[in-house]
Structure 1
Amino acid sequence: MTDSALANGEEEPLGRASYLIEGRRVLLADLVNAGLLAPGTQLTFWRKRSGDAHHARVTEDGRIELVDGQRFKSPSTAAAAATGRGPYDGWTAWALDDGTLLDVLRQTLLDTAAELPPSGDVAADGSAARHARLKEARKQADADTPITLTVRDLLGWWGASRRGYLVTEQVATELANHGLSTVPDFTAVGIDDRVALTGPSGDTEDAEEKAAEQEPATGQEEPRTSGAPGPGTTSGDEGEGSEPIQGQTVGNLPSALKGVVSVASSASFEEVFTKMRLNGYSQLPVLNGPRNLRGAVTWESIARARYADAAAPFADAIVDAHAVSYADHLIDVLPDLERFGFLLVKDQTNQIAGIITVADVAAEYGATARPFLLIGDLDRQLRRVISEGLDLAEVITLCDPDGLRKLSSFDQLSYGDYQQVLSNQKQWDRLKWPLDRRSFTARLDELREIRNELMHFNDKDKAGDSAIPMLRNMIELLREHGG
């Protein structure tokens, strides 16, 4: 199995590809089990600016025990509990008595796994090559020259072309193990948007203060993204809330972070007319600086201001506008979108970086619905050809040989059952189709993967778009040869 299998929802085999930890985030216990960290080792979290020192020790079961007896699997959670603040990257916060950071031991563990001799397994050896790539990315991030690339190119490191659940989880895991984050969060923006691969802050207090300084543009509380260590990042720790964002976000809409045309509050009506007409816009945000949202102006607000007073100043046409984070879940902002008709979008630095409208959301949900309708039709067509052309008793024997499912009709068959039946040479021959069984069932399996992603709402990049011709062709073939 290759890395590309991961993009299709298959599990990567164990071996070097698993980094000795079964493909999950490195835990403190892994360092203990590998002999890199001894139980009883004293840890210190020095806060450079304040001079405070927080102490802990490593327990026998690979946890961090604070002086008050609290125990944590996650270094970051332990750091936050010790200070009562945060968030922190605990792997670069806690150090041994000789100054060695836990992150250094984590990288040693990964290097040991990656340096194993080539196994001949394509997935394992591909993961070793990816390890070298991620190490270089971390090196550049630490040098403050982070690699920037599109989300699409980042996924390509894993042999993937879209963000299904499994590959998203794998990408987040391996980034976290290398102490890397994406800014902005790679799960919350468009697939062709660019992200930077950044490492942990050199001073944990720097990140904390930076987060505190980034006040929302509208005075609202800034939503946090997927338990990240700071606004707009993918978390570098395995602690609670660090899973990649699932479901559609505002930033996944094409227009969300594509820039925005605006005017200042000192603008003239002539400037507004010109910009709105040239761009075909129905509204413009009014900004006095990229983070200072003063409101918006629309054709309706202009008409109202001029109707009330033909000599009204431009300020009278400014109405309230609402800004949301690119990482907000799309479904959560729909009430505000309905109320305002449009929403401004803040990027990871709280700058107004785009705008979304009702039309954008309608197009998004329309694109999402199309493959669902086709999948439903495919399911009906498969059930029809099997029920009309094959014997129920034989089908039940194939699909439920032990009788555990108590199948009694064709209506109880699942998509997997369709594959099971049509993959059977005897049943295939009964259909008398002038088609190649292997090619037909291989396409069924491709559509099964797409179906699973869509039905579990795990597909951020609309695999259904590329699948629509595949679905339509399969449905037409079934109609033609299924009678």
Structure 2
Amino acid sequence: MRTQHPTEEQLHALRGVTMPVKDLVQRFGFPMRTYETVPLITKALNDAGLTTKPDFARCRREIAVTIVDLDDKDPEPIVEPAEGFQPTVGLQRQFLIGDLPSARGKLEFVGPDASLAAAVHIMRTGNYSQVPVIAGTSDLRGVVTWKSVARLLHMPKPAASLSDVMETSVEVAETHQQLFPRLPLINTKGFLLVRERDGVFSGIITTADIADWFHQGALPFFLVGEIEEKLRRVLAPIPSESIALLQPKNRKTGNIEDMMFGQYIILLDPDGRKPEHAKHANQNWSLLGWSTTDRVNFVRQLNLVREIRNRIAHFNAKPLSEADLDTLKRFVRILDDHLP
């Protein structure tokens, strides 16, 4: 990985400049954001007294960010994580509303002058539980749901209109906002309408979307986080000098918590990049005392995990295949066998 950053002078010259996230990342010599590159870019900016608005680590790569002074950064909201649902150390960014495909999917809605029959037709044909009522693209008037339609059974009016069944109290969130704090709300209400920063409604999130996304999208992040946390524990016997050997000159802490994921492989790989790496790798493996574990296969599987990890850290990655998920789960079981 290339880790040559722009000089402090060059970074200061960017103050006030606006550019897409992908361009900012490329200025640091990286092709994409990963768990390894995001902390490096953040540190280089912070060391120069700079940051980005909005936070480049949390935006889609096409979003434009502005380089600003560190003290000009928007304050982070204080969020109390739900009990029993806390991300592991492997997560380097918050999950956002816009990370769910349905938040930016094709939103079907009716205008305020539409008939009730038109709204019901959309719900029936699309197998939806609700349909928004929106004037233009951003003026929300309410939502029609099957529950509100069912109230017609108790109404004396023979010909009801859209306004007769429309619910006007609707929960709304924006794509750049955090997802986790809103999970209880989605669970209670059953759905959440989503709009972009410009106010245009872009999608809807339901409890079914959350369940599907968690399996396909969030689960890999949690598995990778679990792997990294357990990997650090099982590699604890490795001495600090072996770790420091792989760290940059200005960051030789000797702490395994400060290592990049790819460096875990070099710690154990018998075919190290340099002769001294291979020598230390042999000593490190011996110190672990894993007599019933095949070293070549362990390193190979660890490298597979690294490749999967880099893919999901790109933030625009497609959902992992079942084979990739199985690779992560298998490696978790291997690490469980070696935990103290």
Determine the structure 2 residue equivalent to 1:312.
160
* 234-243 vs 272-281, greater mean Cα deviation: 234-243
**Aligned residue identity for 1:242:** K
1:152/1:342 CA distance change after superposition, 3 Å: farther
Q: Are 2:134 and 1:277 aligned?
A: no
1:342/1:304 CA distance change after superposition, 3 Å: same
Percent identity (aligned): 25
Determine the structure 2 residue equivalent to 1:368.
218
**Aligned residue identity for 1:21:** E
Deviations 1:289-335 (A, max 9, x none): 11210011111111113432343222111002222221111123334
- After TM superposition, the structure 1 = structure 2 runs for residues 376-455 of structure 1, keeping only pairs within 5 Å, are 376=226, 396=237, 398-399=238-239, 424-425=281-282, 428=285, 437=296, 440-441=298-299, 444=302, 447=305
Determine the structure 1 residue equivalent to 2:68.
237
**Aligned residue identity for 2:218:** T
**Aligned residue identity for 1:337:** I
1:165/1:288 CA distance change after superposition, 3 Å: farther
**Aligned residue identity for 2:180:** I
**C-alpha RMSD over aligned residues:** 5.3
Deviations 1:5-38 (A, max 9, x none): xxxxxxx13xxxx322188x4179xxxxxxxxxx
**Aligned residue identity for 1:362:** A
- After TM superposition, the structure 1 = structure 2 runs for residues 208-227 of structure 1, keeping only pairs within 5 Å, are none
Q: Which runs of 5+ in 1 are unaligned?
A: 3-11, 29-74, 76-90, 92-102, 104-136, 139-146, 198-233, 387-394, 402-413
Q: Distance in 1 between matches of 2:39 and 2:75?
A: 7
CA contact (8 A) 2:112 2:135 kept: yes
Determine the structure 2 residue equivalent to 1:26.
12
Residue 272 (structure 1) shift: 1.1
Determine the structure 2 residue equivalent to 1:298.
145
Q: Distance in 2 between matches of 1:167 and 1:377?
A: 19
- After TM superposition, the structure 1 = structure 2 runs for residues 14-163 of structure 1, keeping only pairs within 5 Å, are 18-21=5-8, 25-26=11-12, 91=16, 159-163=30-34
Residue aligned with 2:124, SS: helix
Deviations 1:380-413 (A, max 9, x none): 79988x9xxxxxxxx95x5378xxxxxxxxxxxx
Q: Are 2:124 and 1:266 aligned?
A: no
Name which one, 1 or 2, has greater alpha-carbon Rg.
Answer: 1
Q: Are 2:102 and 1:255 aligned?
A: yes
Q: Distance in 2 between matches of 1:185 and 1:278?
A: 40
Question: How many pairs are equivalent?
Answer: 282
CA contact (8 A) 1:248 1:460 kept: no
Q: TM-score, normalised by structure 2?
A: 0.60
1:428/1:324 CA distance change after superposition, 3 Å: closer
